[in-house]
């Protein structure tokens, strides 16, 4: 067998295959739509805070994954007198994102937080379920804030920020 890149001229063949082997997930048109336009699978949306539009003070960027009924926080930040923060100051934007997700009928919000100041940082991860069970924050304000807001650690992305520098997948059920 050979491998081919998905291109405009061959998407229809794959959409037919999708509809044939999994018709309860795709009909031909939805297969073409998903393969042709990434905005049908993932779409960025965001908001920002500021005294006016030309002077933002903080932002949140999210990606909606319609197929997974999920809104993912991709990045966020706030300028607190020249100091980068990502906690309570952004709560109005996090609440806006949550309301948006609920209005879209999404069931999950996701956020990936780095392992800095966490029990899993700067070491190799072993059994991921044990790591998750034993995960501890060493006064990591950012992690603690998101847990307080209702997010729960749900998994890991080992080494995603570098060797022994992990991503912790946080989930909030809506």
3 state SS for 115-151: CCCECCCCCCCCCHHHHHHCCCECCCHHHHHHHHCCC
- pLDDT the model gives residue 34: 84
- Measured over all CA atoms, what is the biggest interatomic distance in the chain, rounded to whole angstroms? 59
- pLDDT the model gives residue 132: 96
Treating both helix axes as pointing N-terminal to C-terminal, what angle do 11-21 and 28-36 enclose, rounded to 10 degrees? 130
- pLDDT the model gives residue 6: 87
For the chain, give me the number of helices (H) and strands (E)? Answer: 5, 7
Q: What digits encode the pLDDT tens for the residues 27-59?
A: 999 889 888 877 767 889 999 999 889 899 999
Judge whether 155 and 128 are in contact, CB under 8 Å: yes
- pLDDT the model gives residue 13: 93
- pLDDT the model gives residue 28: 94
d(CA 7, CA 132): 40
Ordered per-residue pLDDT tens for the chain, 174 residues: 888 888 889 999 999 999 998 999 889 998 898 888 777 678 899 999 998 898 999 999 999 998 899 999 999 999 999 999 899 999 999 999 999 999 999 999 999 999 999 999 999 999 999 999 999 999 999 999 999 999 999 999 999 999 999 999 999 999
Q: What phi, psi does 74 have (nearest 5°)?
A: -90, -45
- pLDDT the model gives residue 41: 78
d(CA 161, CA 68): 24
Of residues 116, 122, 120, the one with CA closest to residue 134: 120
């Amino acid at each position: 067998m050979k491998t081919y890149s998905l291109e405009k001229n061959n998407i229809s063949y794959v959409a037919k295959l999708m509809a044939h082997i999994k018709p309860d997930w795709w009909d031909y048109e939805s297969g073409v739509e998903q393969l042709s336009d990434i905005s049908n699978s993932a779409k960025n949306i965001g908001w920002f805070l500021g005294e006016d539009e030309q002077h933002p003070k903080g932002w949140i960027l999210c990606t909606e994954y319609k197929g997974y009924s999920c809104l993912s926080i991709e990045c966020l930040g706030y300028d607190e007198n020249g100091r980068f923060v990502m906690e309570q100051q952004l709560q109005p934007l996090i609440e806006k994102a949550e309301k948006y997700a609920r209005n879209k009928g999404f069931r999950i919000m996701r956020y990936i937080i780095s392992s800095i100041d966490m029990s899993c940082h700067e070491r190799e991860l072993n059994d991921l379920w044990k790591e998750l069970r034993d995960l501890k924050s060493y006064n990591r304000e950012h992690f603690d804030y998101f847990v307080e807001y209702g997010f729960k650690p749900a998994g890991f992305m080992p080494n995603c920020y570098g060797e022994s520098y992990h991503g912790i997948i946080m989930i909030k059920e809506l």
